[in-house]
Structure 1
Amino acid sequence: MKAHGPAVVPAVDRRTVLALGCALGISALAGCSLAENATGTATPTPGSTDAEAEADAGLKLKASGLDTPWSMVARQDGSILVSERDTARIMALGPDGKLTELVHLPQVVPSGEAGLLGLEIFTETGGIEWLYAYMGTGNDNRVVRFELQDARVGPAQDILTGIPRASIHNGGRIKLGPDGLLYICTGDATDRQAAQDPARLNGKILRIMPDGGIPEDNPFAGSPVYSIGHRNVQGLGWDSADRLWISELGPEKDDEVNLVRAGGNYGWPEVTGVARDPRFIDPVHVWAKTSDASPSALAIAEDVAYVACLRGERLWVLPLPGDGPPTGGTLTGAREMLAGQEGRLRDVLVVGNELWVATNEGAESRIIALPMGSLG
C-alpha cells in the first residue's frame, strides 16, 4: 500500500502557466465547463505578470513564505491561525496581512505526514478562547489545548492521547460540530485491520467534549469512537441540516466523500468505493483515480462542499444532495477549479465572503482567497 505522493512539478511553473478560463468575453463562472477550468482565469497577455493574471481571476494573495501549512482557523479578533506541520509553529495572520509566530511547540516530533496538524478554536460562554491542536509526539498522536491570551498561549493541556502514529496515514483534522462537541479524524497509521476494531483509535472519527470527556450518547459506550472503517480522513464539515460529511483518501483508487452516521462502518480495509455490501456504508462520491483528487480538507457553505486536493492539485466543488436514494458514487454537478495552478492544496476555509485555500508546497506554500460569488 503506497501513500499518495507529491506531483513533481516546480511551483513556479504551476503559477506561471495559468489555465484558460471562460475567455472570449464570457466572464460568468457558471458557464464554464470542467475542461475550461472553472476559475475563469484568462491567459496572460505578453508582458503581463502572474499577479495581474490572478487579479483578473479574482484571486487574492493572503500570505506567502509559509512552510508546509496544514490547518487554518479563525479567531474572534479576525486573525487566522495557521499550523505548520514540520516546523511545529502556529502562525498568526492578522487582518492587516502581517504574519507572525504565535507559538512554537517543541513537543511535536515531525516525520513524514506526522507533525503539527489540525487546529480548532472553542470559545466558552464566559469568553475564554481555547485553541486545540492535533500533534504527533515521539510516542503518539494527541489532541492538546491552550488558553489563548491575546498574542500569547497558556500551557498545553492534554485532551486526548494515545492515538497511534506512523510516518503516513495520521488523519489529523479537528472540527467543532454544531452540537458543541469536537470531532477528530484519525488515519489507520498503516495498521489496516485496526480500522475495523472499535477498541482502537486509529482509522476512526472520534467525538469528545471540549474538556476531553466522552459524550453519553456516543455509539460505543465509554469510547470516543464515533464511526469506524476509515483509511485516512483529513476533511470534515456539516451542511445546513447538521449532517456530517468527510473526505477520505483511498489506496491506489477510490478516494471518497462520505456522509457519516453515528456507529457507521465505512468498510476499510475490507472494501473501498461503492461495494454494495450490507455490512458497510457506501460513499456518496468516489474519485476512481487518485490523480484526480487525493482529498485533504473539506469546507461546506450553502450546502456545497469545497474539497482541497493534494495529488490532484485542484479544488473540487461538490453540490451536496438532500435526503434521498444513494447517489451510486457520483454527485451531480461536481466540477473542479484551480487545476494545476497552485500545486498541492492542503486546507480550505470560509472566511466572510471568501474561500481561503492553503497550498502544500513546502517553503513555497502560500494562502490565496477566492470570492465566494465566483464559486457558484
Structure 2
Amino acid sequence: MKLKLLRRLALALGAALPQVAAAQAPALTTFPVGTTTVTASALASNLSTIWELVWGPDNFIWMTERSGRISRVNPTTGQVLPLLTIPDVTESNESGLLGLAVLVPAAVPASTSYLVFVVYNYTDQGVLKEKLVRYTYTNGTLGSPVVLLGNIVATTTHSGSRLLLLPDNTLLMTTGDAQQQPQAQNLASLNGKILRLNLDGTIPANNPTPGSPVYTLGHRNPQGLVQLPNGRIYSSEHGPNNDDEINKIEAGRNYGWPTVEGYCDLPAEATFCTANNVREPLTTWTPTIAPAGLAYYDHPAIPGWRGSLLLAVLKGSRLTQLTLDAAGLAIPTRTDYLTGFGRLRAVCVSPQGRVYVGTSNRDGRGNPAAADDRILVLENRAYTATATRPAADFSFGLFPNPARRLATVQLPTAGYRLQVADLLGRMVLSQPPGASATAVLDLAALRAGTYLVQADGPAGRATRRLVVE
C-alpha cells in the first residue's frame, strides 16, 4: 500500500518537472518580447484544421482536428499519435469536431485513466446539431462515449465551442447563436450561451438559474475560454462586422447580443444594459479580427508576457498579447506577434513556459502552405529552467500540513513567487513575490485534496506537497 502511495506521489511530482530537452527544430522566425528573443519553430506539420490544443495530464499535447480526429502529440519529438476519429462528426464550413478538455478522475489523481470531453457537430435525420460527449482514455485507448448534452440547435456557422474544466469539478461549454440571434437572450435555449455542467452531465445546484445549465447568456460566437490561477474567467467572442470582444465571464451575467454590439455606448444599448445586467467587454476590435483560442501566460521563460492573455487570431493572422491590470478588469495594452503564418486557431502553454499555437489554414478560409496545418512552438531558447537545479538548492517550510483555511510558507529570503497547483498541473492560486520571507496562503477557496506548492525565486525553484482538508 505504501509503495502505491509513493508511486502516485512520484508521478504527480514528475508531471511538474521539465521534460528532457529535444533537439531544437530549425527556427522559422524570431521576434523580440521586451529584451527576450522568442524563436518560432514547427513541432508537427501536415495536419488538417487544428481546432484545439490542450496540455494534458500526461505531459502530451491533446489535439482535435475539425474532421473528427483526436490525437496526442509528443511535445519533445512532434510525433502525432492518433487516438480516435469520431465517426459521426459532420464537418461543413465551420462545423465539425471543436473543443476538448482532459481530466484525471479525482479518485485516482495519479492514474493513467482520464476523462476526455469533446464537443462536436453531427447530423440527426438530416438536421445539423451539436453535442457534448465524454470519453474514457485507458491504456492508450479512447472509448466508452457517453453523451452528456445533445440535440443542440446548430448550423454550419456559429457553433462555438470551447470547453473549460473548473477546479470544483464542473465544466463550462460555449455555444454560438447558430445564426438564430434572438435565442442568445432566451434562457430556454442552449444557443448563444456559456453552459455549466457537472462531469456526469447533470446541472450544478448552484448554477445562476436553478435547473438550468445556463451560466451566462447573450453571446454571439465565443471561441476562446480560459481561467486564471486567481479564478477569473475570460472569453473571446466573434462580433458581426464590428466589435469582436474579450469578456470577463461572471456567473449569471448577460453579454448583450444581439441587442448590444461591443460596449453599451448607444442610447438603446445603454437602456438594455441597465435593465438586463449586461457585462461590457474589456476590449473590442473594429474592424473585426476573428479572435479564437485564449491562454494565460505566467512563466519566467518569457518575462514580457507574464500575467497576460495570449489570443490566437484567425482573420487577423496573428498572436496577440493582452495585458491585464491588477484587478483583471481592464486590458491596458494589446501587442501583436507571430504574423506570417496565416490563420491561428488554438493556443496552449506548457509548464516549461513554451507556447504552442495551432494554425487553421485548411479550414476553407485560408491560404495553406505546403506544410499546413502546423503546431508552432514559441520559446525562449536562452532560458534555463530553475527547476533543473539540484533539489538541494533550497527548501522551504510549509505548515500546518494538512491545512484547512490558511498555510504559512517559510522561505529562505524575500522575493519568492508562490503558486499552488492541483495534481493536473492547473494553477489554482498565485501570489507575487513578497517583501518578507514569511508568506501566508489563503486556502479558503480550495476544495479538499492534494496540491503542489511551488516557490520560485532567488535560489531557484522548489516544490512541496500540501494536503487541504
- Smaller-chain TM-score bracket: 0.7 to 0.9
Matched, 1:321 2:325: yes
Q: How does 1:43-58 map to 2 (within 5 A)?
A: 57-58=38-39
- SS of the residue corresponding to residue 184 of structure 2 reads helix
Unaligned ranges ≥5, structure 2: 1-26, 265-269, 299-306, 363-367, 384-469
- SS of the residue corresponding to residue 193 of structure 1 reads helix
Matched, 1:369 2:377: yes
**What is residue 46 of structure 1 aligned with on the other side?**
none
Q: How does 1:234-245 map to 2 (within 5 A)?
A: 234-245=223-234
- Whole-Å separation in 2 of the counterparts to 1:374 and 1:85: 35
1:284-327 CA-partner distances (Å, limit 9, x unpaired): 1111211xx21011011233110101001011101122338x64
**What is residue 315 of structure 2 aligned with on the other side?**
311
Return the match for 2:254 from 254, 265, 269. Answer: 265
- Whole-Å separation in 1 of the counterparts to 2:165 and 2:357: 19
Q: How does 1:34-113 map to 2 (within 5 A)?
A: 57-86=38-67, 88-94=68-74, 95-113=76-94
The amino acid that maps onto 2:193 is K
- SS of the residue corresponding to residue 155 of structure 1 reads strand
- SS of the residue corresponding to residue 183 of structure 2 reads helix
Q: Is the 8 A contact 1:239 1:301 kept in 2?
A: no
The amino acid that maps onto 2:296 is I
Cα distance, 1:81 vs structure 2: 1.8
Matched, 1:296 2:276: no
Percent same amino acid among aligned pairs?
A: 35
**What is residue 51 of structure 1 aligned with on the other side?**
none
1:73-100 CA-partner distances (Å, limit 9, x unpaired): 23332222211102x1112212432113
**What is residue 335 of structure 1 aligned with on the other side?**
335
Cα distance, 1:17 vs structure 2: 10
Q: How many pairs does the alignment contain?
A: 322
Q: How does 1:117-266 map to 2 (within 5 A)?
A: 117-124=98-105, 125-126=107-108, 127=111, 128-139=113-124, 140-266=129-255
Cα distance, 1:130 vs structure 2: 0.7
Q: Name the CA shift for 1:374/1:311 in 2 (closer, same or farther; >3 Å).
A: farther
- Whole-Å separation in 2 of the counterparts to 1:372 and 1:229: 40
Q: Is the 8 A contact 1:274 1:282 kept in 2?
A: yes
The amino acid that maps onto 1:194 is Q
The amino acid that maps onto 2:156 is S
Cα distance, 1:374 vs structure 2: 9.6
Q: Is the 8 A contact 1:355 1:372 kept in 2?
A: no
1:251-270 CA-partner distances (Å, limit 9, x unpaired): 00100000111110000000
Q: Is the 8 A contact 1:29 1:374 kept in 2?
A: no
TM-score (norm 2): 0.65
The amino acid that maps onto 2:55 is A
**What is residue 45 of structure 1 aligned with on the other side?**
none
Kindly indicate which of the two structures has a greater share of residues assigned to strand.
2
The amino acid that maps onto 2:71 is M
Cα distance, 1:160 vs structure 2: 1.1
Q: Name the CA shift for 1:60/1:300 in 2 (closer, same or farther; >3 Å).
A: same
Deviates most, 315-324 or 154-163: 315-324
- Whole-Å separation in 2 of the counterparts to 1:312 and 1:369: 19
1:182-226 CA-partner distances (Å, limit 9, x unpaired): 110100000000000011000000011111111111001111100
**What is residue 53 of structure 1 aligned with on the other side?**
none
- Whole-Å separation in 1 of the counterparts to 2:176 and 2:323: 26
Q: Is the 8 A contact 1:91 1:102 kept in 2?
A: yes
- Whole-Å separation in 1 of the counterparts to 2:168 and 2:380: 26
- Whole-Å separation in 2 of the counterparts to 1:81 and 1:239: 20
- Whole-Å separation in 2 of the counterparts to 1:309 and 1:163: 26
- Whole-Å separation in 2 of the counterparts to 1:374 and 1:287: 34
- SS of the residue corresponding to residue 46 of structure 2 reads strand
TM-score (norm 1): 0.81
The amino acid that maps onto 1:305 is L
CA radius of gyration, larger in = 2
Cα distance, 1:166 vs structure 2: 0.6
- Whole-Å separation in 1 of the counterparts to 2:359 and 2:92: 19
- Whole-Å separation in 1 of the counterparts to 2:382 and 2:374: 20
- Whole-Å separation in 1 of the counterparts to 2:251 and 2:381: 34
- Whole-Å separation in 1 of the counterparts to 2:28 and 2:64: 29
The amino acid that maps onto 1:367 is I
The amino acid that maps onto 1:179 is D
- Whole-Å separation in 1 of the counterparts to 2:232 and 2:189: 25
Deviates most, 69-78 or 111-120: 69-78
The amino acid that maps onto 1:157 is V
